Amino acid sequence: MSIPAKEFFVLGEVRHGRIHSVSCELAGKARELADSVGGTVSVVLFCDELRDDPETLVKRGADRVLIVQHPTFALYDQEAEIRSLAHLARRYEPEVLLAPATTSGRTTLPAVAALLETGLTADCTGLEMEPGSGLLLQTRPAIGGNVMATIKTPDRRPQMATVRPRTFRVPPEAERSGRVEYPAPPPSCFQSRVQNIGFERAQEGESDIQDRDVVVSGGKGLKRPETFRLLEELAALLGGGVGASRPVVEAKWIGYSHQVGLSGKVVAPKIYFAVGISGAVQHLAGMQTAGLVVAVNRDPEASIFRVADIGLCGDLFEVLPRLNERLRAEVKGR
């Protein structure tokens, strides 16, 4: 008798008909995990119409793409998604279920975990199969990101985890073969009590700082709200977004959607500028996984320098104009 291969499930994310890149990141990670124990990978998509080719997920590691198409998924419908995903999990009995730690993934997964009576670990930054036991080791930052906790789900299935976008790389495309299937959960799964009324897209420019390659954040050191103009200028030169520390958001110098930190957003851009930010734990927890951190502060003892790669110690009212001027010349020169 052959033992069926262990099934690894990934909840992919489709936004307005497009497959979000986090789906590819997780397909790649699940491939890695499945290969270490001889398992198979299925990516599940809930959508109304799909404008991207699901083959892209096969190239990133999926053996199978399960597409559940229904008009109710034109916008995120948590109740239909939760019921459908729980239905598929009961039918295919995956060992592992991974999902993006986006607003929708973080809404769907806890509910599905509760329905399936199993555990869930949020915002994992490390995932691996434990040699011997074959259990999923789920590592996540705890207590403000200063401690890493490794967590297991020993007895219950599936072993579930969410992962923030950009935690893992999109693997290079590989020539692989896989299939696309259209499972049909029972109609009761789509009888949602939640009614979608509409969606107002954010204006260009106020788009989410979590999706930017460069984030330029300001803190109390800016002294007054008008100083954000210098940061906006720097951000514009680099095609980035503007962030802020909690105190300046609380002082209403800038909107809450810009707040970086434990009580705001967690960002992981290629380049993060912390300008006039001293570096409270609360802020550091929201940016310390950035690729390159540049700190501008007049206090050489500021904690922000301890998590920075480049420290520009000086008066920001002098440093920023000079930096902007230099970058303007650079951008013009090409």
Partner 1 sequence: MGGGPVLVWKGDGAVEERTERKPMRIAVLIKQVPDSDDVRMDPETGTMVREGVGAIVNPLDLNALQAALDLKNDAPGGAEVTVITMGPPKAHEALRECISMGADGGGLLSDRAFAGSDTWATARALAKAVEKTGPYDLVLAGEKATDGETGQVGPEVAVLLDLPFTTYVVRMELADGTATVRRMVEEGVHIQRLPLPCMITVLHALNEPSMPTLAGKKRARRIDIPVLGASDLSMAPEETGLRGSATRVVRISYPTVSRKADMYDEKSLDQGIERLVELLRDQAVI
- Within 150-189, the residues that bind partner 1 by CB under 8 A are 150-156
Q: How far is the CB of 151 from partner 1 (least distance, A)?
A: 5
Choice from 74, 180, 236, 327 touching partner 1 (CB under 8 A): 327
Nearer to partner 1, 180 or 220 (CB): 220
Residue 27 · residue 60 · CB < 8 Å: yes
Q: How big is the site for partner 1, counted in residues (CB under 8 A)?
A: 96
Nearer to partner 1, 55 or 128 (CB): 128
Q: Are strands 18-19 and 40-47 parallel, antiparallel or unpaired?
A: unpaired
Task: Give CA–CA dist 217/134, Å, rounded.
Answer: 42
Q: How far is the CB of 177 from partner 1 (least distance, A)?
A: 32
- What does DSSP assign to residue 94? -
Sign of the alpha-carbon torsion through 265, 266, 268, 274: positive
Strand partners, 259: 244
x-or-dash string of contact with partner 1, 47-76, rule CB under 8 A: ----------------------------xx
Q: Shortest CA distance to 75 belongs to which of 184, 168, 192, 171?
A: 192
Choice from 42, 72, 102, 227 touching partner 1 (CB under 8 A): 102
Q: How far is the CB of 181 from partner 1 (least distance, A)?
A: 27
Choice from 41, 62, 214, 260 touching partner 1 (CB under 8 A): 214
Choice from 35, 107, 174, 321 touching partner 1 (CB under 8 A): 107
Taking contact as CB under 8 A, which single stretch among the options 38-46, 62-70, 226-234, 304-312 is the one that binds partner 1? 304-312
Alpha-carbon distances of 68 from 24, 35, 109, 112, 184, rounded to whole Å: 18, 26, 17, 16, 7
Q: Are strands 7-11 and 40-47 parallel, antiparallel or unpaired?
A: parallel
Alpha-carbon distances of 171 from 4, 21, 30, 41, 162, rounded to whole Å: 26, 11, 11, 15, 18
Alpha-carbon distances of 80 from 84, 159, 180, rounded to whole Å: 6, 22, 21
Residue 122: strand, helix, or coil: coil
Q: How far is the CB of 66 from partner 1 (least distance, A)?
A: 22
Sign of the alpha-carbon torsion through 218, 223, 224, 230: negative
Residue 253 · residue 273 · CB < 8 Å: no
x-or-dash string of contact with partner 1, 111-130, rule CB under 8 A: x-xxx-xxxxxxx-------
Residues 6-25 that bind partner 1 (CB under 8 A): 15-16
Nearer to partner 1, 36 or 78 (CB): 78
Task: Decide if residue 199 touches partner 1 (CB under 8 A).
Answer: yes
Residues 226-255 that bind partner 1 (CB under 8 A): 237-239
Considering only the C-alpha atoms of the chain, give the largest distance between any 2 of them, rounded to a whole number of Å.
Answer: 74
Alpha-carbon distances of 45 from 12, 13, 59, 201, 229, rounded to whole Å: 5, 7, 16, 22, 41
Residue 179: strand, helix, or coil: strand
Choice from 137, 189, 230, 260 touching partner 1 (CB under 8 A): 137
Task: Decide if residue 213 touches partner 1 (CB under 8 A).
Answer: yes
Taking contact as CB under 8 A, which single stretch among the options 52-60, 215-223, 226-234, 302-310 is the one that binds partner 1? 302-310
Residues 267-286 that bind partner 1 (CB under 8 A): 270-271, 280-282, 284
Nearer to partner 1, 177 or 195 (CB): 195
Taking contact as CB under 8 A, which single stretch among the options 3-11, 24-32, 64-72, 103-111 is the one that binds partner 1? 103-111
Task: Decide if residue 144 touches partner 1 (CB under 8 A).
Answer: yes
